[in-house]
Amino acid sequence: MTPSLAVRRKALAVRYPWFEGTLFAVSATLVFFVSSLIFFALLGRSPFLLFGELLSGSLGSSYGLTETLVKTIPILLCALATALPARLGLLTVGASGQFYMGAWCGTAMVLLFGHSHWAAMPLMFLGAFAGGAIWGLVPGFLRAKLEVNETLVTLLLNYVASLLVDWVVYGSWRDTSNLGWPATISFPQWVKLPLLINGSHLHSGLILALLIAVALHVVLSRSRWGLSLRILKSNLKLGEGVGFSWTGNVALVMGIGGAIAGLSGILETSCIHGRLESGIALNFGLTGFLVAWMAGQHMIRIIPLAFVMGALLSSGDALQLYAQLPEATAVVLQSILFCSVLATGGFLRRGRSP
């Protein structure tokens, strides 16, 4: 950045507090569109047509809109599950493993107590929270006590969790009356949350997820605990000196984050699929990571971004149907978006302090 531009930028930033944020958002979006345009143009396709299909497919009809919202729920929850530990500086990509373990334990509860009309749902949620929390506490503990890099541990545990689900779904929990199809019995009606829109898959888990996001935001920005996290993250020695516990807080954020991801796991299992099956986590863990990152780990900003991602993912089959583009296109677009955000963020930061 030339000195005069940098000076002008500094002046604007001082005068309008929203300047930096807007500059970032607009630049990142521009970079994303330009990069995707180039990608599609290289394929010989009209980018505007494709974006049109993408948008009309995900938002242009009531069906598309509800499906987008359905996708938004797990992405939002997994993003929150990633953002909370990140407030302490922990980088976890383990939401999908915690998702699976939440689904695993929640399903176990349903299999054990599903007959009870009033106890089944609370126990199911408790199980999901516990399962997800444990899967978050293990890497947390390893990081706090043994300084093992939590990113790698969570990545490895993702694969283990997915296999554990396969183990029971193909083995002892398999519904034998379903011709050996690898899935558990159908969940009873009373463990499913009420639907927001009849005839769709959109369940009230959306409200729950939004409430959690708001609650986290309020707690983190207003409470003493939120303050302790900020201090510990920026200066560990200082934080511990003042009496905040590193280990305790690692456990808290990893445990709560894991529980949130576990919740998204059981919600998908019970309200969307109606039974535990293999491979239901799709890319939610990774997508959640991206969303959390792009939102700067800010709980409220995560909401609209999760919605955008949900639209992107749910439009995948619109692209396949109308544009004969493979499903992988959605993944490519996601990664281009993330790269754009990273590049823009990095350059803008550099430009600020030459």
Partner 1 sequence: MTFIELLLGILLSGLRSATPLLQVLLGETITERAGVVNLGVEGQMLSGACAGFAVAAVTGNPWAGLFAGIVAGMLLSSVHAFLVLVAGANMFASGVAVWLLGGGLSAFFGIPFVGRRIDGFASPDFGGAAKLPLVGPILRVATPSVLIALATWVLCSLFLYRTRAGLRLRAVGESAESASTLGISPTKVRWAAILAGGALSGLGGASLSVDLVRNWVEWMTAGRGLVAVGLVIVARWNPWYALPAALLFGVVESLTLRLQALGVTISPYLLSTLPYLVCLGVLVWGSARARSKGGMPRDLAQVFSKTE
Partner 2 sequence: MIRRILSMSIALAAATILLAGCGKKEESKAGGADSAKVGFIYVGPRTDYGYNYAMDQGRLQLEKDLGIKTVYFENIPENAEVERVMERMIGDGIKIIFATSYGYLDPALEVAAKHPDVIFMHGGGFKLAPNLGTFFADIDEVEYLSGMAAGACTKSGKLGFIAAHPIPQTLRNINAFTRGAQSMNPKVTMNVVWTGSWSDPTKEAEAANTLADQGIDVLTMHVDGPITIAQTAEKRGIMVCGYHADASQFAPKGWLTGAAWNWAPLMEKIVKSIQDSTWKSANLRGNIRDGYVKLASYGPAVPDPVKTKIDSVEKAFVGGAPLWIGPIVAQDGSVKAKAGDTLTRAQIESMDFLVKGVIGSVK
Q: Which residues bind partner 1 (CB under 8 A)?
A: 86, 89-91, 93, 142, 146-153, 155-157, 159-160, 163-164, 166-167, 170-171, 233, 286, 289-290, 293, 326-329, 331-332, 334-336, 338-339, 342-347, 349-350
CA distances 296 to 115, 166, 206, 217, Å, are 44, 34, 22, 13
Picking from 348, 306, 353, the residue whose alpha carbon sits closest to that of residue 23 is: 348
**Nearest-approach distance from CB 96 to partner 2, in angstroms:** 15
How many degrees, rounded to 5, is the angle at CA 41 between CA 37 and CA 42? 120
Residue 180 interacts with, from partner 2, partner 1, none (CB under 5-8 Å by kind): partner 2
| 300 vs 7: CA distance, rounded Å | 31
Q: How far apart are the first and last CA of the chain?
A: 8
- 222 or 349, CB closer to partner 1? 349
Residue from the set 11, 38, 46, 207 that interacts with partner 2 by CB under 8 A:
46
Strand boundaries in 155-221, DSSP class E: none
| 108 vs 86: CA distance, rounded Å | 30
Residue from the set 34, 41, 235, 317 that interacts with partner 2 by CB under 8 A:
317
Q: Does 175 contact partner 2 by CB under 8 A? A: no
Picking from 69, 96, 48, the residue whose alpha carbon sits closest to that of residue 306 is: 69
The window from 101-109, 117-125, 206-214, 271-279 that contacts partner 2 (CB under 8 A) reads: 271-279
| 74 vs 212: CA distance, rounded Å | 13
- 261 or 306, CB closer to partner 2? 306
Tokens of 337: 């978006």
Q: Does 171 contact partner 2 by CB under 8 A? A: yes
CB atoms within 10 A of CB 173: 19
Binding site for partner 2 (CB under 8 A): 17-18, 20-22, 25-26, 29, 33, 46, 48-57, 59-61, 63, 67, 163, 166, 170-171, 176, 179-183, 199, 201, 272-274, 277, 279-280, 282, 298, 300-301, 304-305, 308, 314, 317-318, 320-323, 326-327
